[in-house]
Structure 1
Amino acid sequence: MVVIVMETKSRISLFYPNRASHRVNKISSRDYLQNYNYQYSYRAVLSRLKKLDNRTSKLKYLDKAIKYNYWHKPAIFTANQVSGKPRSYDNEILINFYKQALKLAPRDQKYLAGLASVYRMDNQLDNAAIIWQYLINHDANDYRSLLSLALYAQMENNERAFNKSMRRLDQMDTTETSQIESLIGLVSDAYKLQPNYAIDDLNLYDDASHYIVILGAALTIHGNIKDKLRRRLAAGLKLAQLQPKAKIIVSGGQVPQEPTTEASMMIEWLVDHGIKRQRILKEDKSRDTVQNAINSNLILKTVNAQKVTLVSSSSHIQRAYILFQTANYANHINYDLDQYVVRDTDKLVRPAQHKIISDMLRVKGYWLLPGIQP
């Protein structure tokens, strides 16, 4: 039994698994399922847990199942869809695995914090806030939970609660809190971003310390480049031709439905279009935009970049720009960040505030799923 006292039955249900497992609805001939190892499906994991004879081994298996399902949800992809995000994408299976872990390890901070993170990802912010408050009640010096609660208060426009929490955070760690406050300011500024759709909008800088970072996008199931990525590459190619001394970073790893890395295909496309291979740096470990920002900035810091031009689509640039600014600041690189945007929507897609805050904290070094997934 989970030893967590909540005032209402609905609140107690936050910590108990739903009876329904994660199901995939009937699919049409135009859909396909991403590769999925069903030993990590909800039903299979429950069956496996019954066969394990001690709590430690059960929790380790749940950790594996949580991490696997974070990246490999049994979701449906529409044939030739523009985005790499499955249209049936949800977090129910992760929530239920965390609830199973809490049945085995009541009050475990790792699983409580992880469950709160998944609730935040799923935009169930009130549920997440209940858990953060519970964690703070049991450890008044839990910086991460208090920070999460402060940011929740800000999203709810509760300035009094936000300011009170920030004062307490400052008492706990002045340096860290000062950085967080600066990052919050960066997020606010980035929401005002004016996209550069034309070359004339850019301040060209033909120098070896200038890096053109082209962000990847989903490949087809056969590993071919789709139109969205092709247009980003064409935009990056145009910048590279106008600034022959500038270097190029291609950023994109391999997500579950792809047979190869996005970066490797991007390099071949650029080489086929006249760019010398030695001019291109490859970042092929990233599986999402947060990792694009983290891993690309590791390279940018190593090469002492002075200027970076980020190339992406209008549906993506605002979020990507915020995260690159966060990584730039957090890693003390101090390059000048510009952006060149490929229009794929009529207007910029403003990232949800709960999502961008979660992503910002990941870039800053706060694990999304503590002890399981950075």
Structure 2
Amino acid sequence: MHIRTPFLLSASLLAGLWAPAPALADGINAAAQERAAHIVQTGIYYYWNGGDLKQAEKDYFQGITLKGRYDIVENSFREAAKLQPDRLDLLFGVASAQVLQKDTAGALQTWADIWQKDRQGFEAPILQAAYLTALENTEATDKILATLARSHPERTQAYQDKFARATRTLALPIRTTPNPDMPQAQHAIVVLGYALGKGGVVQPTLLKRLDKALALARLYPDAPLVLSGGVQQGGITEAYAMAEWLAAQGIARSRLVLEDLAKDTVGNAVNCAAILKDLGVRHATLVSSASHIRRGLTVLEEATRNQGLDLHFDSLVELDYPRLEDAEKITAAERVVVYRDLMRTSGIWAFPGIQQ
């Protein structure tokens, strides 16, 4: 995603940001629209880059005490929605920011408000159903799905199927040793990256993932390795660093497929799914950390299905918990994050028109 720098406001423009704006003859308030766009762009910049909270309070959010960069994101969309109250996409942005701040109850209420304004809409109530499923509130989920099934039967069934697959994935055992029973043919190994250190240094967590990937690569000598990670440090992406490490261990470069654009788990899944389709594989083993594997598998399966694939998945983890028993426990917080990224991967963007 191309990230633009935040709009820099002069004193006069800053004063004008909060002043009443004239409406055009056709009812479109152009000045409010422009101000809303500037505020939203500020929020998205902070989403990716962070920044000076006190300066943001001074420049954009007078009277609001900001607690973190996601607070800026939420308040950016909230203030923009005040300027353009008919734009439901801005309210979706508020809800997504609330999820980022672990205010799931607030997000559920925001989606309920959106649904009240658009009773024929689908995305707000299906997001409610997804997060209520994550919170294991079966009664509330069933009520929403029953309502949606009357107006959107096919889409509702499709999402019920997605939720069922996510439930199965969350129940899978954690595998810490390579599975020797995967097919040798039409099999790919997908390795998810991890943040590099300063200057592009491979961090211990990623080294442990690579050790697991190396064991798989030797067990399945014909399998390509899809290395996913596009966040750079020192001009080096995670994918490039992984490829260099594996090549140094004797893995042929012809087996290494670099996915060097993804900035997050959803990007990993979407980009890797397209690569897996090109490779023509029918089986894939995902390598990541134990704390990340259930989310990674859930979104990768969703992304490959979006590509028209029906792959058989396996996994291998580096154990980033003290004990295996700890890794196998699933918290409500993890389920929420899994469903958050599932819904994004399914095509319901977190910030509609701006950020998946």
TM-score scaled to structure 2, two decimals? 0.82
Counterpart for residue 243 of structure 1 = 220
Counterpart for residue 137 of structure 1 = 116
Partners in 1 of 2:348 and 2:117 — Cα distance? 20
Q: How does 1:159-238 map to 2 (within 5 A)?
A: 159-199=138-178, 201-207=179-185, 209-238=186-215
- Tell me the CA shift for residue 101 of structure 1: 0.6
Q: Secondary structure at the match of 1:327?
A: helix
Counterpart for residue 355 of structure 1 = 337
Partners in 2 of 1:220 and 1:355 — Cα distance? 25
Partners in 2 of 1:320 and 1:311 — Cα distance? 9
Partners in 2 of 1:317 and 1:75 — Cα distance? 33
Partners in 2 of 1:248 and 1:155 — Cα distance? 32
Partners in 2 of 1:108 and 1:276 — Cα distance? 52
Could you report, residue by residue, the CA deviation over 1:212-241 in whole angstroms, capped at 9, with x for unpaired residues?
101100100211101111111121112112
- Contact kept, 8 Å, 2:131 with 2:339, in 1: the verdict is no
Partners in 1 of 2:272 and 2:14 — Cα distance? 39
- Contact kept, 8 Å, 1:116 with 1:127, in 2: the verdict is yes
User: Larger RCO: Structure 1 or Structure 2 (Cα < 8 Å, ≥ 6 residues apart)?
Assistant: 1
Q: Secondary structure at the match of 2:315?
A: strand
- Tell me the CA shift for residue 161 of structure 1: 3.1
- 1:370 and 2:348 correspond: no
Counterpart for residue 310 of structure 1 = 286
Q: Secondary structure at the match of 2:303?
A: helix
Change (3 A) 1:75 1:210: farther
Partners in 2 of 1:220 and 1:323 — Cα distance? 26
Between stretches 89-98 and 310-319, larger displacement belongs to 89-98
**Partner residue of 1:147 out of 122, 126, 138:** 126
Partners in 1 of 2:211 and 2:136 — Cα distance? 42
Partners in 1 of 2:134 and 2:296 — Cα distance? 20
Partners in 2 of 1:362 and 1:210 — Cα distance? 27
Partners in 2 of 1:250 and 1:124 — Cα distance? 33
Partners in 2 of 1:192 and 1:202 — Cα distance? 21
Number of equivalences: 322
Counterpart residue type for residue 321 of structure 1? L
Change (3 A) 1:275 1:89: farther
Change (3 A) 1:184 1:310: same
Could you report, residue by residue, the CA deviation over 1:147-187 in whole angstroms, capped at 9, with x for unpaired residues?
12223444555434322211222233322222211111112
Change (3 A) 1:45 1:165: farther
Identity rate, percent: 28
Change (3 A) 1:164 1:315: closer
- Contact kept, 8 Å, 1:311 with 1:341, in 2: the verdict is yes
Partners in 1 of 2:242 and 2:183 — Cα distance? 23
Partners in 1 of 2:284 and 2:180 — Cα distance? 12
Counterpart residue type for residue 51 of structure 2? P
Counterpart for residue 58 of structure 1 = 35
Change (3 A) 1:45 1:323: farther
Counterpart for residue 337 of structure 1 = 313
Counterpart for residue 237 of structure 2 = 261
Partners in 2 of 1:95 and 1:46 — Cα distance? 23
**Partner residue of 2:263 out of 287, 310, 313:** 287
Could you report, residue by residue, the CA deviation over 1:224-273 in whole angstroms, capped at 9, with x for unpaired residues?
10111111112111211221111110000116x66431111111111111
Q: Secondary structure at the match of 1:107?
A: coil
Counterpart residue type for residue 126 of structure 1? A
Partners in 2 of 1:286 and 1:40 — Cα distance? 22
Partners in 2 of 1:93 and 1:252 — Cα distance? 27
- Contact kept, 8 Å, 1:59 with 1:101, in 2: the verdict is yes
Change (3 A) 1:115 1:280: same
Which has the larger share of helix?
2
- Tell me the CA shift for residue 141 of structure 1: 0.9
Unaligned runs of 5+ in 2: 22-30, 54-66
Counterpart for residue 62 of structure 2 = none
Partners in 1 of 2:216 and 2:260 — Cα distance? 21
**Partner residue of 2:253 out of 277, 295, 313:** 277
Counterpart for residue 47 of structure 2 = 70
Partners in 2 of 1:75 and 1:51 — Cα distance? 22
- Tell me the CA shift for residue 203 of structure 1: 1.7
**Partner residue of 2:77 out of 51, 73, 98:** 98
Change (3 A) 1:258 1:58: farther
Partners in 1 of 2:224 and 2:250 — Cα distance? 14
Change (3 A) 1:155 1:232: closer
Partners in 1 of 2:131 and 2:217 — Cα distance? 42
Counterpart residue type for residue 183 of structure 2? Y
